[in-house]
Amino acid sequence: MPSITPAMTPERAREIAAGLDLRALPADFYANPYPVYAALRETQPVRQMPDGSYFLTRHADLVAVYRDAQAFSSDKKVEFTPKYGAASALLEHHTTSLVFNDPPLHTRVRKLIMGALTRRAISAMEPGLIMLVEGLLDGIEAKGGGDLIEDFASAIPVEVIGNLLGVPHADREPLRAWSLAILGALEPKLTPEQEALGNRSVTEFLGYLRGLVAERRQVPLDPEHDVLTRLIEGENGEQLSEVELLQNCIFILNAGHETTTNLIGNALVALEEWPAQKAWLLERLGPRPDWDALEPLLTVAVDEFLRFESSNQLGNRRAVRACEVGGVALPEGALVTLCIAAANRDPAQFSTPDVLDLARVNNRHLAFGFGIHQCAGLSLARLEGRVAIGRFLARFPRYRLTEAPTRGGRARFRGFLKAPFSVA
């Protein structure tokens, strides 16, 4: 089987780094972007790109930007209006979701979501999640294998997020395709087909959600657990407008999909490349895992998978005033790309950053971002990762890929489209 993550010579990494343009990335970059990010971090950690934006690769610089939400705005109206067109469905969606807004809209929506994602609410999801995962593993066992992404990794988040918003099971089928198309439209370069598909997906998704929201208004569920009921009811007399409500539901449904699929898929593929780490983990699981006792160890392992192959590799901010980052002066209006994937391999922050170390301590990775926009679903994502990866390994300790997996080929969301495997 060809190597999953092919090596890249330092010369080639420097060559790509020197001409890096996110709108035109070469195939070997997608296969292994880390040597390119290392070259940038070493030579130009705050690098001005051909389109005038700035590309940041040092951990400390990303933290500084994330921390200063007043100087570095998440509001994307300036960037996205020319990208999607003033009257487009994609523009309305992406500029209304909390992640691409500053306070006060951001604060209002986030508070409502977080109220339904408490520790207690997440613990309550665990038994259903375990049943779901074990059921998927039964299906795989019966077939003797399958596809890590199609049959396992992608099948989990769609159910979890569907439950979170109370989407009836029969309606869940189109969610993944809508989500892939809408988030796919965030890539630095878009084809007209991708743009059209993104717009169509927002419109179809909105059409579906209008019906669901109307039903939920008539028959509300328990707001302690149902995010949709919570968003509809609001808090302290503050309610979201209809557009804010619908667009943020789309965002929540999307945010937890591809990212979590990629966490699970990337982890199970990475273990093929790191057999000693796989053996280490299997030894700890033992023949009859005590899942409660294993929780801390698996949480550490999940965070290392997130650091090592971050599912969301890039973030963006806009400097609302002139400021300085990493010793470089940025003008007012500067667009900044935060390279999470590079920061998570920064040797100034992590020892042996290019090594997968499932027992890593002090793992201050930025896979969930940092600051006021830090992932609202991180506890849920960690739970899904722990249950899915732990139980998969325990059931199929000898699983192996039967052909080279197919990468998604995106700079922002890193993951696989296909990864065929057999269980023995």
Residue in 57, 73, 179, 312 binding ligand HEM, rule: CB under 6 A: 312
Where does this chain touch ligand HEM (CB under 6 A) — which range of 19-27, 81-89, 105-113, 409-417? 105-113
Preceding peptide of 353 cis, ω within 30°: no
HSE (side-chain half, CA atoms, 13 Å) at 289: 21
Which distant-in-sequence residues (6+ apart) come within 8 Å of 174 by Cβ? Answer: 204, 208
- Least separation in angstroms between CB 106 and ligand HEM: 6
- Residue 111 has φ and ψ, to the nearest 5°, of -60, -40
Pairing, β 46-48 against β 54-56: antiparallel
Residue in 17, 271, 335, 376 binding ligand HEM, rule: CB under 6 A: 376
DSSP bridge pairs for 325: 328
Q: In terms of Cα–Cα distance, which of 302, 317, 205, 209 is closest to 260?
A: 302
Residue in 20, 113, 228, 388 binding ligand HEM, rule: CB under 6 A: 113
Task: CB nearer to ligand HEM: give 99 or 330.
Answer: 99
Q: What is the x/- site pattern for ligand HEM, positions 258-287, by CB under 6 A?
A: -xx--x------------------------
Task: CB nearer to ligand HEM: give 13 or 74.
Answer: 74
Task: CB nearer to ligand HEM: give 13 or 302.
Answer: 302
Rounded-to-integer distance, Cα 51 and Cα 42, Å: 21
Q: Under the criterion CB under 6 A, does residue 256 sit at the interface with ligand HEM?
A: yes
Site for ligand HEM in 36-95 (CB under 6 A): 74
- Least separation in angstroms between CB 29 and ligand HEM: 20
Kindly state the number of chain residues that form the binding site for ligand HEM, as judged by CB under 6 A: 24
- Least separation in angstroms between CB 231 and ligand HEM: 11
CA distance readout (Å), 57 to 5, 224, 313: 20, 39, 11
Q: Calculate ∠ Cα 51-56-57, nearest 5°.
A: 135
Residue in 62, 156, 255, 269 binding ligand HEM, rule: CB under 6 A: 255
Residue nearest to ligand HEM (CB): 377
- Residue found under tokens 């020197």: 18
Which distant-in-sequence residues (6+ apart) come within 8 Å of 86 by Cβ? Answer: none
Where does this chain touch ligand HEM (CB under 6 A) — which range of 7-15, 265-273, 368-376, 398-406? 368-376
Residue in 381, 388, 393, 401 binding ligand HEM, rule: CB under 6 A: 381
- Least separation in angstroms between CB 238 and ligand HEM: 17
- Residue 248 has φ and ψ, to the nearest 5°, of -75, -30
Q: Under the criterion CB under 6 A, does residue 369 sit at the interface with ligand HEM?
A: yes
- Least separation in angstroms between CB 125 and ligand HEM: 11
End-to-end C-alpha distance for the chain, whole angstroms: 16
Q: In terms of Cα–Cα distance, which of 280, 290, 278, 305 is closest to 381?
A: 305
Q: Calculate ∠ Cα 104-338-307, nearest 5°.
A: 105
Name the residues that contact ligand HEM, by CB under 6 A: 74, 98-99, 106, 110, 113, 252, 255-256, 259-260, 263, 311-312, 315, 367-369, 373, 375-377, 380-381
